[in-house]
Amino acid sequence: MKKGKKLLAVITTLALLISTGCAQSKSPTAPAGEKNYPTKPVEMTVGFAAGGGADLVTRITAEASKKHLPNGQSIVVSNKTGGSGSIQLAEIFQSKADGYKLGSVTTGNIIMQPVLGKAPYKATDFEPIALLNSAPNLLVVRSDAPFKTFEEFLDYAKKNPDKFTYGTSGVGDTKHVAMEALNLQYGIKTKQVSFDGSAQSLTALLGGHIMAAVVMVQEAKPHTDSGKIKVLANLGSSKTDVYKDAPYLKDKGYAGFDTWTGIVAPKGTPKEIINILADAFKKSLQESQVIADFKKAGTEPSYAGPEEFKKIIEASYKSAEDVVKKAGLVK
C-alpha cells in the first residue's frame, strides 16, 4: 500500500510539472496578431440559457460562420448562465485577447448590468465584432383593454398615477428601462412588476392580473396572432415589419430601446483578428438559410461591423444610464 502511495505521489508531481511546463511554453507562441488565425476551434460563450432568443441567434450564426472562417476552423458555442449574463461576460473580460475566446452579448449583460453597477466590467471594456440582430421592445395590452390607442393610455396613466401596472422579464432589464424612459418623457407614473421571463409576465397579462407588459416582437407575436393582445406602442430604436402600424415613439423624441445580440472579444484583441471574424459573421448573416432561420426565431439579421457596433454600444449605454439615473433605479 505504502509503496503504491509513494509511486502515485511521484507520478502526480511529474504530471503537474509537465503540464505547467507545457502551459508556459505555450504562452509565448500566442503573440499579438497571430499570422494564421484561426489555427484551432474558437470558443464562444452565451450568458443565457440554451434555447432562448440570444442563444438561438448566436448558434445559427456560429454554425453558418464555419464556411467563412479561414483554415476550415469553426466556432464552438457553450452556455454559461448566471447573474443575468454577467458571469459569462466577466469571464470574457478576464480572458486572453488572442481571438480564441469570444462572447455573445445582449443589451442585458453588456449594457444593463454595468449601468446598474452589478458587473465588474464596463460596456466599453470589450472589442466589438458584430451586431447580429436588433429587436424593438413593445408595449402590449389585452385586446379588451379600456384604452384603444397610445394617447388614450397616456390619458389614463395621467389621471391614475401608480395605478397602471405592467410586467417585464426582470428588474432593471431593457424593458423596464424602456418603460421608465416613457414615464420620464410623458410625466406619468406607472408600476413595474418583475417576473422571471416574458412568458410569466404574458401569463399575468392574459389572465388580466396586470394591465400591460413590455415584450419583444417574437414574444408578442403568438398572442397578437390569436387576437388576445394588441400592441400599443413600439418602444424600440428600430421599426418592425410585423407591427408597422404601432406608433413609433422614436419619431416623437423618445430615446428608443431595442434588445440586441452581438459578438464581442476581450479588449486588446488584434485588429486583424477582429476583422477576420467580422467578415465571417457578415457573410454568414447574408446567407439565405441564415435569414430563414432567423425568421423562424422571430427576428431578422441586422449586421453592423466593429466600428458601427461600437457606436451602438456607446449610444445604448448612454441612454440607459440616463434613464436609470433620472428614474432613481440606482442609488
Partner 1 sequence: MESLLQLLQGFETALTWWNLLYCFLGVTVGMLVGVMPGLGPTAGMAILLPITFGMDPIPAIIMLAGIFYGAMYGGTVTSVLINTPGEAASVITCIDGYQMAKQGRGGTALGIAAIGSFIGGSVAIMGLALIGPPLAEFALKFVPPEFFSLMILGLMTLLGLMGKSLLKGITAAVLGLVLSLIGMDPVTGTIRFTFGQMQLMDGFDFVIVAMGLFGISEILISGENNTELEIIPKIKGLFPRKGEWKPSILSILRGTGIGFFLGLIPGANAVIASLVSYSAEKKLAKDPSRFGKGAIEGVAGPETANNAYSGAALIPLFTLGLPSSPTVAVLLGAFIMHGLTPGPVLFQTNPDFVWSVIASMFIGNLLLLIMNLPLAGIWAKVALVPYKLLFPLILIVSAIGAYSVNNRLWDIGAMVAFGVIGYILKKLDFPLAPMVLTFVLGKSIESSLLRSLKISESGFLIFFQRPISAALMGITLLILVFSIYSVAKKKRSALAGDVEI
Question: Which residues of the chain form contacts with partner 1 (CB under 8 A)?
Answer: 49-52, 55-56, 59-60, 63, 78-84, 86-87, 90, 116, 118, 120, 165, 170-172, 191-197, 199-200, 202-204, 206-210, 218, 221-223, 225-226, 228, 293, 296-298
Q: Which is nearer to partner 1, 218 or 314 (CB)?
A: 218
Rounded to the nearest whole angstrom, what is the least distance from the CB of residue 298 to partner 1 in the complex?
A: 6
Give the whole-angstrom CA distance, residue 233 versus residue 329. Answer: 23
Cell of 100: 480564441
Q: Which is nearer to partner 1, 55 or 127 (CB)?
A: 55
Minimum distance of partner 1 from residue 215's CB (angstroms): 12
Whether 54 contacts 298, CB under 8 Å? no
Nearest to 138 by CA among 205, 82, 186: 205
Q: Which amino acid is at 56?
A: L
Q: How far apart are CA 25 and CA 19, in angstroms?
A: 10
* Nearest CB to partner 1, comparing residues 27 and 226: 226
DSSP strand pairing (258-266 vs 101-106) = antiparallel
Amino acid at 331: K
Let me know: does 73 contact 280? Beta carbons within 8 Å: no
How near is the Cβ of 271 to partner 1 at its closest, in Å?
30
CB of 94 to partner 1, least distance (A): 11
Nearest alpha carbon to residue 96 among 273, 256, 290, 219: 273
Which residue lies nearer to partner 1 by CB, 203 or 238? Answer: 203
Cell triple for 123: 460596456
Smallest distance, partner 1 to C-beta of residue 74, A? 13
For the CB of residue 12, give the shortest distance to partner 1 in the complex, in Å: 16
Q: In this complex, which beta carbon is closest to partner 1, that of residue 90 or of residue 139?
A: 90
Please report which residue ranges of 82-167 form alpha helices under DSSP H.
Answer: 86-94, 113-115, 150-159
Helix 271-286, helix 306-326: angle, nearest 10: 90
Closest separation in Å from C-beta 165 to partner 1: 6
Which CB atom, from 90 or from 265, has the smaller least distance to partner 1? 90
For partner 1, the closer CB: 68 or 118:
118
Hey, what's the cell of 132? 447580429
Give the integer Cα–Cα distance in Å for 238 and 263.
19
